[in-house]
Amino acid sequence: EQVLMNLVENAVKYTPAESPIEISARTDGQGVQVEVADRGPGLPEGARELIFEKFYRARPSQDRSGFGLGLSICRGIVEAHGGRIWADSRPGGGTAFRFFLPIEGTPPKVEPVDAKT
């Protein structure tokens, strides 16, 4: 849920108000792939992998809030569940963010947080 929310929030933040944001999902029996696609400015050349690094912002601007952590958080969540996340430029402009989560396998083990520390 958090990954999808972060991707949609980014699309809303960087896409012109009248442009559509497309959300789709499909399964292939091995897992589910979710896509959030926009018609915003797209990714600068060479930024496809950098955008998932902590504090990296592809288009830093004073009128956009954030610290460049959202996509890094998405990557951490997806990879913790055995999946992968990536982004591609769309023909005609914009970006498509996709993530894949496997259906089978052992879910990640979540350790309880010790409230005393």
Beta carbons within 10 angstroms of residue 101's beta carbon = 18
Share of the chain above pLDDT 90, in %: 42
The pLDDT value given to residue 64: 54
Cα–Cα dist 112/9, whole Å: 29
Average pLDDT over residues 61-71: 63
Contacts of 95 (CB under 8 A, 6+ apart): 37, 38, 40, 42, 43, 87, 88, 89
Question: Taking all residues of the chain, what is their mean pLDDT, rounded to a whole number?
Answer: 82
pLDDT attached to residue 69 = 73
Tell whether the model's pLDDT for residue 12 goes beyond 80: yes
* 67-111 confidence digits (pLDDT tens): 577 888 999 999 999 999 999 988 888 999 999 999 876 666 667
Please, is 106 exposed, middle or buried when counting C-beta atoms within 10 Å of its C-beta (0-12, 13-18, 19+)? exposed
pLDDT surpassing 50 at residue 62: no
pTM value is 0.76
Place of tokens 């091995």: 30
Chain CA centroid to CA 107, Å? 20
